[in-house]
Amino acid sequence: MAGIDTIKNQLLYFAATQEAARQKAREASKNSKTATAKKSVFANSLQKKQEEFNLASEGLPIELAGMEIEEAIVFLKDELDSAGDKLASDQSLEQIENYRKKLSNFMKYVTRNNYEVLIYKRKKRGFPLIDTKTGKPAYFVQIQVINEKLETLTNDIIYNHSKNLNILAKIEELNGLIVDLLAD
């Protein structure tokens, strides 16, 4: 019977160690889940800050960080419309500068997200063509519209804000004349 007791004791020992190993594995799993959650929160925060920095370096509002393209376009269009309404009611220099800034932000964002420049090497019968002026290979440059809706929206905004754009053009013309006058 002594042999049976040792086997029983060994089984109990292995069962206890196996249960302890399972419990440690569960704890490690919980810790790794919280660690990955912390990493993903940090990574998301870092990515958002990077996007805000990129937008700020391009002169765009940082509120666009994290927005989809369509959401950002609607946001910029609303800002442009409100600035246009303010300019229509009050033609002060401050309102003109605000409208110019909003229009510039809108156009920068649309051109950044709406067009793609494709460059192709020109070839004739499988051989690259050489530009006679520079002696370098000649290229075709093609600008491809990525999102037709954005282009339509941009054209509509330019058409709807043509009055304000005409005012801005006249002000720019006057500023140019003043600079020319001061330069002489």
Q: Strands (DSSP E) along the chain, which ranges?
A: 115-121, 123-124, 127-128, 139-145
What is the pLDDT, as a whole number, of residue 1? 47
Q: What is the mean pLDDT of residues 33-38?
A: 58
Segment 94-104, tens digit of pLDDT: 888 888 888 88
- Is 167:95 a contact under the CB 8 Å cutoff? no
pLDDT higher than threshold 50 for residue 114: yes
Same domain, 113 and 168: yes
Same domain, 149 and 111: yes
- Distance between alpha carbon 68 and the CA centroid of its chain, in Å? 8
Is residue 110 packed enough to be buried (19+ CB in 10 Å), middle (13-18) or exposed (0-12)?
Answer: buried
Which residue range(s) make up the domain with 169?
A: 58-183
Check residues 36 and 149 and name the one with the higher pLDDT.
149
pTM: 0.49
Q: Which of 5-14, 27-36, 69-78, 92-101 has the lowest mean pLDDT?
A: 5-14
Same domain, 49 and 62: no
pLDDT higher than threshold 60 for residue 16: yes
- Is 114:154 a contact under the CB 8 Å cutoff? yes
- Is 109:76 a contact under the CB 8 Å cutoff? yes
**Domain total for the chain?**
2
Q: What is the mean pLDDT of residues 88-95?
A: 83
Check residues 10 and 75 and name the one with the higher pLDDT.
75
Average pLDDT taken over every residue of the chain:
75
Same domain, 113 and 124: yes
Domain boundary (57, 72, 99) is at: 57
Residues of the chain with pLDDT > 70, as a percent, come to 67
Segment 117-163, tens digit of pLDDT: 667 676 666 666 676 777 777 766 666 666 676 677 777 777 777 77
Q: What is the mean pLDDT of residues 55-79?
A: 85
Q: What is the mean pLDDT of residues 41-65?
A: 85
User: What pLDDT band is residue 80 in, cutting at 50, 70 and 90?
Assistant: confident
What is the pLDDT, as a whole number, of residue 145? 63
Same domain, 48 and 71: no
